[in-house]
Amino acid sequence: MSKDIVCARAEAAGPMPLALSSYQTTCKALIGRMQAKLNTENIYLLTYISKAIHQLELCESKSKLFKYSTKNFSKNIVFALQDNSDRMLDAVRRLESFVRPVEHDWVTVPLNVKTQCNFVCDALFLVASHMCLLDEVATLSRTSRSKYQTLYLNSIRNHVVKMRATMNRTYILKEDSKKSPPPMQMMEKSETKPKKSLEHVSIPIIDAMSAEITDRDIATLVFKWTTLDKFNEFSRVSSQQEPVESKSPQIYVEEKSDNKDKIKHRVKSRRGKLWALAYLSFM
């Protein structure tokens, strides 16, 4: 058997539980004293004594509810309980001093005794009202504290989830950067070539064209392919259709046969180049 003695010591109680226990014992002691000492058969005195006992019992019942909300009170509640207990002791002492001389009277009660007993009952009523107000404040603080605590816990939980997600993401990215890529990915990286810029792209068909095609010809071709057959009441004239007779005077210029053959040959060669350029532009 070991010789060591283990001593279990309870945690030091705060000022609030001690103040509550002393307040409850004070209420019980005053109720027992009034029931045991103030024995009278006078109806008026019994009324005042029963009122005082009722107020003391109400204070005791309210003080028992404070043990569920000790965390919601501040240190000022201790001084409030001590003040209430002092006021109760003073009121009961005054009531005894007024009742003892006339407790054997059957019917009559002096007017000054009646007035003093009313003052004592009113003082005890104020003490009980104070305890009821403290109970209401404790209930409100307990409910508000619980709601605030749930909101606070939810906000902390959401923040922790976000922080954990960011930490996991950064950790995964670091681990992926440390690892070597698979062989297929390395081959794809080695096989990829930089893209050529558009300035260095060369099209053999366009390069083979002569410099006789001007910007006017290209604009005419683009206008032809991007406009409708009929636009603003002007219809396009094709080679197969006959030209529409215009009311404006026409001027005809006679040309020689040699010049006409040269113009036809030039038009055919230029038309082929324009068709090739249009085909490349729509690819």
pLDDT digits (tens, 9 = 90+) for 235-245: 555 544 444 44
In the chain, % of residues over pLDDT 70: 51
φ/ψ of residue 260, rounded to 5: -65, -40
Residue 282 lies in a domain: yes
Number of domains forming the structure of the chain: 2
Q: Tell me: do 112 and 228 sit in the same domain.
A: no
Q: How far is CA 99 from the centre of its chain?
A: 64
Residue 71 lies in a domain: yes
Q: Tell me: do 221 and 110 sit in the same domain.
A: no
Predicted pLDDT of residue 250: 42
Neighbours of 37 (CB within 10 A): 12
Q: Tell me: do 127 and 25 sit in the same domain.
A: yes
Q: Tell me: do 68 and 141 sit in the same domain.
A: yes
Which of 111, 146, 181 marks a domain boundary? 146
The residue range of the domain holding 113 is 15-146
Note the pLDDT tens digit of each residue in 84-96: 888 888 888 888 8
Residue 247 lies in a domain: no
Q: Tell me: do 19 and 126 sit in the same domain.
A: yes
User: Which comes out higher in pLDDT, residue 98 or 182?
Assistant: 98
Q: Which pLDDT band holds residue 279 (cuts at 50, 70, 90)?
A: low
φ/ψ of residue 235, rounded to 5: -95, 145
Residue 6 lies in a domain: no
Note the pLDDT tens digit of each residue in 39-61: 777 777 888 888 888 888 888 88
Q: Tell me: do 19 and 111 sit in the same domain.
A: yes
Q: How far is CA 282 from the centre of its chain?
A: 55
Q: How far is CA 153 from the centre of its chain?
A: 12
| pTM to 2 decimal places | 0.44
Q: Tell me: do 219 and 102 sit in the same domain.
A: no
pLDDT at 15 over 70: yes
φ/ψ of residue 110, rounded to 5: -60, 155
